[in-house]
Amino acid sequence: MLKKIALLLWGSLLFVTCSWDLDSANSFTVTGTLTDSDGSPVSGGTVILEDDSEHRAATDSNGNFEFDDLSAGNYSVSGEIDGWIVVYEEDSYLSLRWEESVEIELTAYDLSESLPISVIQGSNAKSSLDGESVVDIEGVVTKLNTADYDGFFMQTATIDDYDFSSSCGIFVYTEDEDGSGTVSTVPYDLAVGDLVKVSGTVTELQVENYLGYSDGLLTVTTLTDPVAEVLTEDYTTTYGEPDPIVIGDSASADISPGDITTAEEMIDFMEAMEGMRVTVESPVAVGPESYSNMPVILSGVTYDLETEFSDNYGLLIHEDNLNPERMFIYYEDFDDVVLPGTTFNNGGDVTGVVNYTGDGVYTIEPTDSDDIGEEADTSYSTVSKETTTVTHTDGTLRVASYNVENFGVELDDDGDQDTDSRDDQASELAEDYVDRLLSPDIMVMVEMGDDYGSTVYNENTKYTYYVPDGNTSAEGNFEEFADSIYSDSGFDGDESDDPLNYVDVEPEDGEEGGKPGMNIRVGVMYRSDRVTFTQRGDANYDDGVAPTLDDDGNIQLTYNPGRIIDDAFDGSRRPVVAEFDFEDGDGENHRIIVIGVHFSSKGSDDPYYGEIQPAVCYSEESRIEQAEAVGNFVTQCLSLDPDANIIVAGDFNDYAFSDAAQVLISTTGLNDLTGDYLDSDDCYTYSYYGNSQQLDLMLVSDNLYGATSADGVDIVHMNSEVGWENEHSDHDAIVSRFAW
């Protein structure tokens, strides 16, 4: 762990356990000397110590300064002198704990002279020289360009004793003002291995994601407006490349990520090497690549956090462990899809430069394709598309839930409807329904889009908006889906009877979130040869459904299908509610109430590896309120009939252990089928940057819970870990069987 972290934790622990010693010291004295980089004293400067207040001391003709009557605590150390930067090279903080008299040394660097890169970077996340002009900064070019920007990385040629307090590498941004090319003040033939000197402006470059958003993301210390000169071409051929920092647990490693337990610690760990060459020992992928980012852990490292893997070597998450120790390799040129279990460079090490990208992660960008290998080694990966083990048996009901990822018509670049893309998607989803899910009787379909494709206006990359056109029906999409199923020889129904049907309540145009212009909603597909659906009423988007009892005392919906209407769902998908009747093998009828949900996304949350630590989940409150609204409806049903058969299924956009899921379970008594019946290494439906997590749930009332068993519940892993070339959606599906 970085020195700063160790110092703060050490000081805090001792303060708590031995506070009696602090009481014995009434005050502390700090003395020291301010010198320049040659060791000569600097007079007329100001040294600043700051805790809850600011303390200043001037340097005399010998560069000496003194502070008296200081209280115990942690103090930031800085200094001021016109045209210079003052650096406390021991650490960012001075901890006053035991010794009543402490002596420190500071160094002042003349901004009109060449500075070490480490001084520009400093020991904090942002450079104290942000906005300042610097001259003749020397370094060796280690890599050209980044995942996001044109430019080059350079690093101090020789590092005698790197102490992990500040980076010795930096990125030089070379794009011209309109982004059309490289500034003329940088040699066009600049190459990796050249020794260069650069003058420019120190800038904390704010990275952006692919949509142009930067909220909560970190900055990268950068030199902008550069004027570069090559001092020695191909310098490294003669003098060698700067030695990389070796990350791992071997005898030759310089530092290990094994003791990282929080995202903040991981940020500090990587920030101290920003822009530097590093070698990661024996990385292995723990998730499919996303935007060319490959999440990895180091196979030889012993981590303090308990690491639990999915069946396919993805990292499972827990309430107290979101796997902050993940690292990321950025590489665009693999021929194969990178899957969990993939190794690189024939199972060896990978060397590259540390960068922070608009995807909100620190990456290692390999410096040479020969270093990482032209293809990923997938021989250790066991990932394959699953087929459900929950098969059909006579007299049983099979219910599935599947997020079909924006299934519908979109517009192409010319503004025309792209039905070919929709038809291809329908064919893929049909394959999943028949061959992977084995044609369930009822299926909740999350993210069903409309048939039309609507114009989406891009004012710029940051602002996308949609003008409602009144088209919200999904009938055409379902018809294409059904036709694709009928054409699959594996479908066990009679096509001539047209048994496949779909119900939803069309959403309010453009008002329910999701991908702009698609009007996604939750619908329910069913087989009329297996269950009976009786339509009741014709609900509009703002008509709320309620449970009642029919003449025989059975649960009945006021609208079938209907939707739960509550302010908690403003700007998000309203849950669909549908009522079905199923006749078991003994001829007994069972009334089934299916509630399909798609709660608000996490899009408004802070980035996990972002500026705010720990990251704030702003969206969580809305999902809790949505869970309460669904819970109220379920409670109404159970108050009318305690033996009601109720299923709540879909995309919760939150974890099974989340407050939203637990609120719904605790207030209704619903049972979590996958959590109760499946092993923990099987409980995931989505992979996000290497974290295999369960966002989709199937909760059932007690009466239905009694009709299930361990061999009747399955999460079918057919998408989440198979990579973008092989997936038909970004979620896995859940299938459950009920037998009476």
DSSP string across 165-225? SS-SEEEEE-B-TTSSSB-TTS-TT--TT-EEEEEEEEEEEE---TTS--TT--EEEEEEE
Question: Which residues, in sequence order, are CB contacts of 198 under 8 Å at separation 6+?
Answer: 136, 137, 139, 154, 172, 223, 226, 227, 228, 229
pTM of the model: 0.90
What is residue 181's predicted lDDT score, i.e. its pLDDT?
77
Q: Is 91 in contact with 165 (CB distance < 8 Å)?
A: yes
Which DSSP helix (H) or strand (E) runs through 485? helix 475-486
Cα(462)–Cα(691) distance, integer angstroms: 27
Question: Which residues, in sequence order, are CB contacts of 416 under 8 Å at separation 6+?
Answer: none
Q: What is the DSSP secondary structure assignment for residue 18, as one 8-state letter?
A: T
Mark out the alpha helices in 550-701 (DSSP H runs): 620-640, 659-668, 673-677
Cα(339)–Cα(156) distance, integer angstroms: 36
Closest to 482 in 3D by CA, of 528, 519, 521, 515: 528
For 520-588, strand residue ranges (E) read 521-527, 532-533, 547-549, 555-557, 562-563, 576-583
| pLDDT tens digits, one per residue of 70-119 | 999 999 999 999 999 999 877 668 999 888 999 999 999 999 999 999 99
Closest to 172 in 3D by CA, of 223, 121, 123: 223
What is residue 306's predicted lDDT score, i.e. its pLDDT?
83
Q: Is 573 in contact with 521 (CB distance < 8 Å)?
A: yes
> By CB neighbour count within 10 A (0-12 exposed, 13-18 middle, 19+ buried), where does 602 fall?
middle
- CA 345 → CA 143, 180, 292, 342, 465, distances in Å? 19, 35, 17, 10, 44
What is residue 371's predicted lDDT score, i.e. its pLDDT?
58
194: phi then psi, degrees, rounded to nearest 5:
-75, 145
Q: Is 275 in contact with 352 (CB distance < 8 Å)?
A: no
What is residue 519's predicted lDDT score, i.e. its pLDDT?
93
Residues of the chain with pLDDT under 50: 1-24, 461-462
What is residue 18's predicted lDDT score, i.e. its pLDDT?
41
Tokens of 61: 């003709």
Cα(562)–Cα(556) distance, integer angstroms: 11
The SS3 assignment for 726 reads: coil
What is residue 291's predicted lDDT score, i.e. its pLDDT?
85
Q: Residue for token digits 């009696």? A: 20
